C-alpha cells in the first residue's frame, strides 16, 4: 500500500492518492472558507461541551480553544494558507490546529462529523446574514417613510395597465413599497426561526456513541432548538431553500420598484431625479444619465431566482442522508444572500435622495381623465345607478378626447349635456386635490391617511 495520502482525515482506506484534477474538482475550500468564523465558533462550543461531558480534559479544551482563536486571527490577518488538498474549511482549520497544538487537535472531531459540522456552520452563517439583511430592510423602510411624510401632498397619476387611472399621493405610492418590504421582513424573521435549529450532534447520520450533551452546545451557540432527528439534521437544506424563496420575493419587490424608477427617470415620464452618484453616463452619448442602480437590481433578481431553482433541483432527488451533491448548496446560497443584502443597501442609500418633480407629476395627473371615477361617484351620490353613471362619464370622456379638454376644464354647460344632475358643486370633485382628499379611509390615498400610515410605520419600526 502506498504511504502517500491525499487527506489525512480519511486516507487510511485508500491505496492510492486522489487524482489531482479530482481533488480540485471535489474541493470546496475556495468558497466555503467564508464560513471560517462560524466553523471556529461551532468548534469552540463543541470542545467546551466535550470537556463538560468528560471526553476532554480542561487542559485539552483550553489548548483547543486557544489554538482556534489564534487560527481565526491568522485568517483575518490574511496569513492563513488555505490548501485545496484538505478539501474544505473544516479540514483546513483542523489540520492547522493539529500543527499548532499537536495530537490534542485531533481530538476535537470526537463525537461529530463534517456532515453535522457543515450543516451547523451554514445555519450559523445564514442566521447572521438574515440579521444584517433585515436591518437593511428597516433602513430602506425608514427612507420610504421619510419621503412619504415629506411628499404626502404631492399628487401624481396612479396607473393600471400603465395607463392613467386615478390621482394618488406620491407619498401613498411610496408606502405601497413600505408594505411589501414589511412582509419581506416578516418572512425573513420567520425563516430565521427554522434556520436557528441545531444539527450538531447528528454526527454522520445516526448520532454518536460518545456521551455528548447537545443542550450545552445549543445554548453556547444561541440556537433556539435542537434538531430532533439525526438523518434530517445532516441531509436537508430546506432552511436554505426557504431563505432563497423569501429572498426571491424581496428581490421581486425591489425589481418592480426598480422598474418604476427606471420609467420615472426617463425623459418620457421625468417624474423624479436620481442623484448623479447613483447613475452613470454613456461613452458615446454625452446627454445620457443612466439609472444603473435600479437597472442592475432589476437584473440581479434573476440571480436570486436562479439560486432558488438551483437549490430545489439540488435537493429533489437525494436519498437520505448526506450526499456530496450538498456541496453545491453553498455557492447559490452565498450569492443569494450577498445579492439581496447589497441590493437593499443600494436602495436604502438611494431612496432618501430621490427628488420628485412635483409639477411634472401634477401635470401628468391632469392628463388622461384621472378624475373620471370621481365624476361617476358624484352622480351616484345624486341617486343614479352606478352603471348609468359609468356610461354618462364615458360619453363625457369621449367628448373630452375630441375637444382636447380634461373633465375639470369643461364648462358646466358642457358637462350638463351628459346629465342634468350635474351642478356647480361638481368642480370640487373634479380637482386633483378633491379626488385624493375624498379617499379618506385607512389605506386610502388622502394626505391625512398618508400621514397616519407614516405614523403607524414609524411605530412598527420602533417596535422591532
What is the reported pLDDT for 171?
98
Largest CA distance in the chain: 105
Residues 148-156, mean pLDDT to the nearest whole number: 98
Residue 25 confidence (pLDDT): 87
Share above pLDDT 90 across residues of the chain, in percent, rounded to a whole number: 86
User: Where does 53-150 have alpha helices with state H?
Assistant: 58-76, 89-101, 114-150
Better-predicted residue by pLDDT, 111 or 9: 111
Secondary structure E strands in 155-249: 155-160, 163-169, 197-198, 225-226
Taking the chain, what is the end-to-end CA distance rounded to the nearest angstrom? 62
pLDDT given for residue 184 in this prediction: 98
Q: What is the pLDDT of residues 40-59, one digit of tens each?
A: 999 999 999 999 999 999 99
- Please report the pLDDT score of residue 278 as a whole number: 87
Say if residue 3's pLDDT is above 80: no
Whole-model pTM?
0.91
Averaged pLDDT, 70-98 = 97
- Taking residues 96-107, report their average pLDDT: 97
In the DSSP assignment, the letter for residue 319 is P
Percent of the chain at pLDDT > 70 equals 97
In the set 43, 185, 258, 282, the catalytic residue is: 282
Q: From CA 187, how far away is CA 250, in angstroms rounded?
A: 9
Rounded Cα gap, residues 91 and 336, in angstroms: 26
pLDDT band at 368, cuts 50/70/90?
confident
User: Catalytic one among 2, 15, 161, 441?
Assistant: 161
Cα separation of 112 and 90, whole Å?
12
Residues 6+ apart with CB under 8 A from 411: none
Q: Quick: pLDDT tens for 211-237.
A: 999 999 999 999 999 999 999 999 999
- Chain-wide mean pLDDT for the chain? 94
- Nearby residues of 417 by Cβ (< 8 Å), 6 or more positions away: 399
- Domains (range + CATH), the chain: 18-110 (1.10.275.10), 115-362 (1.20.200.10), 369-462 (1.10.40.30)
Q: Which three cell numbers stand for residue 217?
A: 452546545
C-alpha cell at 412: 358646466
Give the residue among 371, 454, 429 at the shortest CA–CA distance from 172: 454
Distance CA 218, CA 205 (A): 18
Q: Is 143 a residue whose pLDDT tops 60?
A: yes
Closest CA to 218 of 233, 238, 204, 205: 233
What local confidence, expressed as pLDDT, does residue 12 receive? 58
Burial 366-396 (b: 16+ CB within 10 A, else e): bebbbbbbbbbbbbeeeebeeeebeebbeeb
Which whole-number Å values give the CA distances from 233 to 39, 194, 225, 226, 229, in the listed order? 17, 12, 12, 9, 6
Distances (CA, A) of 106 to 3, 102, 164, 406: 20, 8, 70, 82
| Look-up of cell digits 483550553 | 62
| pLDDT level of residue 13 (50, 70, 90 thresholds) | low
pLDDT in the model for residue 457:
98
- Per-residue pLDDT tens for 273-312? 998 898 888 778 878 789 999 999 999 999 999 999 999 9
Indicate if the pLDDT at residue 2 is higher than 80: no
Determine phi and psi for 112, rounding to 5 degrees.
-145, 170
| pLDDT given at position 26 | 83
395 in catalytic set = no
- The three grid cell numbers given for residue 205, joined into one nine-digit string: 447520520
Residues 6+ apart with CB under 8 A from 61: 47, 48, 50, 51
Determine the pLDDT at residue 4.
45
Q: What is the pLDDT of residues 14-44, one digit of tens each?
A: 667 778 888 788 899 999 999 999 999 999 9
Of the listed ranges 134-138, 197-201, 396-400, the one predicted with least confidence: 396-400
Q: Quote the CA–CA distance of 343 and 300 in Å, as a whole number.
A: 8
Element housing 272 (H / E): strand 272-273
Summarised one tens digit per residue, pLDDT across range 109-141 is 999 999 999 999 999 999 999 999 999 999 999
Task: Tell which wins on pLDDT, 91 or 281.
Answer: 91
CA distance 365 to 133: 36
pLDDT for 10 beyond 60? no
Is pLDDT of 202 > 60? Answer: yes
Q: Is 161 a catalytic residue?
A: yes
Residue 204 predicted with pLDDT over 90: yes
Q: Tell me the β-bridge partners of 272.
A: 356
For 226, the 3-state DSSP assignment is strand
More confident residue, 407 or 146: 146
Comparing 42 with 408, the larger pLDDT belongs to: 42
In terms of Cα–Cα distance, which of 273, 259, 118 is closest to 199? 118
More reliable by pLDDT, 70 or 369: 70
Task: Report how far residue 72's alpha carbon sits from residue 80's, in angstroms, rounded to the nearest whole number.
Answer: 9
Amino acid at each position: 500500500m502506498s504511504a502517500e495520502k491525499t487527506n489525512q482525515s480519511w486516507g487510511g482506506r485508500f491505496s492510492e492518492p486522489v487524482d489531482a484534477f479530482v481533488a480540485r474538482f471535489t474541493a470546496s475550500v475556495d468558497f466555503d472558507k467564508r464560513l471560517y468564523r462560524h466553523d471556529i465558533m461551532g468548534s469552540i462550543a463543541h470542545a467546551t461541551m466535550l470537556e463538560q461531558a468528560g471526553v476532554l480534559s480542561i487542559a485539552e479544551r483550553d489548548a483547543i480553544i486557544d489554538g482556534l482563536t489564534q487560527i481565526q486571527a491568522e485568517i483575518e490577518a490574511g496569513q492563513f494558507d488555505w490548501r485545496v488538498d484538505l478539501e474544505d474549511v473544516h479540514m483546513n482549520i483542523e489540520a492547522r490546529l493539529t500543527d499548532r497544538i499537536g495530537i490534542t487537535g485531533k481530538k476535537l472531531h470526537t463525537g461529530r462529523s463534517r456532515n453535522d459540522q457543515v450543516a451547523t456552520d451554514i445555519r450559523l452563517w445564514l442566521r447572521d446574514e438574515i440579521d444584517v439583511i433585515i436591518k437593511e430592510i428597516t433602513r430602506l423602510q425608514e427612507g420610504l417613510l421619510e419621503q412619504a411624510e415629506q411628499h404626502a401632498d404631492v399628487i401624481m397619476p396612479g396607473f393600471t395597465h400603465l395607463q392613467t387611472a386615478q390621482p394618488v399621493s406620491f407619498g401613498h405610492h411610496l408606502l405601497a413599497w413600505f408594505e411589501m418590504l414589511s412582509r419581506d421582513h416578516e418572512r425573513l424573521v420567520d425563516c430565521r426561526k427554522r434556520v436557528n435549529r441545531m444539527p450538531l450532534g447528528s454526527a454522520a447520520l445516526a448520532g454518536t456513541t460518545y456521551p455528548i450533551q447537545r443542550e450545552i452546545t445549543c445554548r453556547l451557540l444561541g440556537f433556539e432548538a435542537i434538531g430532533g432527528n439525526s438523518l434530517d439534521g445532516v441531509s436537508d437544506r430546506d432552511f436554505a431553500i426557504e431563505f432563497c424563496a423569501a429572498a426571491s420575493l424581496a428581490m421581486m419587490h425591489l425589481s418592480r420598484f426598480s422598474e418604476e424608477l427606471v420609467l420615472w427617470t426617463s425623459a418620457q415620464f421625468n417624474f423624479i431625479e436620481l442623484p448623479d452618484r447613483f447613475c452613470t453616463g454613456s461613452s458615446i452619448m454625452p446627454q445620457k444619465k443612466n439609472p444603473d442602480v435600479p437597472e442592475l437590481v432589476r437584473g440581479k433578481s434573476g440571480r436570486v431566482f436562479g439560486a432558488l431553482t438551483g437549490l430545489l433541483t439540488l435537493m429533489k432527488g437525494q436519498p437520505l442522508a448526506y450526499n456530496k451533491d450538498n456541496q453545491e448548496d453553498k455557492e447559490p446560497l452565498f450569492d443569494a444572500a450577498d445579492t439581496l443584502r447589497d441590493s437593499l443597501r443600494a436602495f436604502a442609500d438611494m431612496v432618501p435622495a430621490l427628488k420628485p418633480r412635483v409639477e411634472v407629476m401634477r401635470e401628468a395627473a391632469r392628463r388622461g381623465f384621472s378624475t373620471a371615477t370621481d365624476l361617476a361617484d358624484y352622480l351616484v351620490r345624486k341617486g343614479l345607478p352606478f352603471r348609468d353613471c359609468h356610461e354618462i362619464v364615458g360619453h363625457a370622456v369621449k367628448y373630452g378626447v375630441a375637444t382636447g379638454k380634461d373633465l375639470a376644464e369643461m364648462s358646466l354647460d358642457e358637462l350638463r349635456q351628459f346629465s342634468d344632475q350635474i351642478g356647480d358643486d361638481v368642480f370640487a370633485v373634479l380637482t386633483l386635490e378633491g379626488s385624493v382628499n375624498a379617499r379618506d379611509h385607512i389605506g386610502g390615498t388622502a394626505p391625512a391617511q398618508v400621514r397616519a400610515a407614516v405614523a403607524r410605520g414609524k411605530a412598527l419600526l420602533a417596535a422591532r
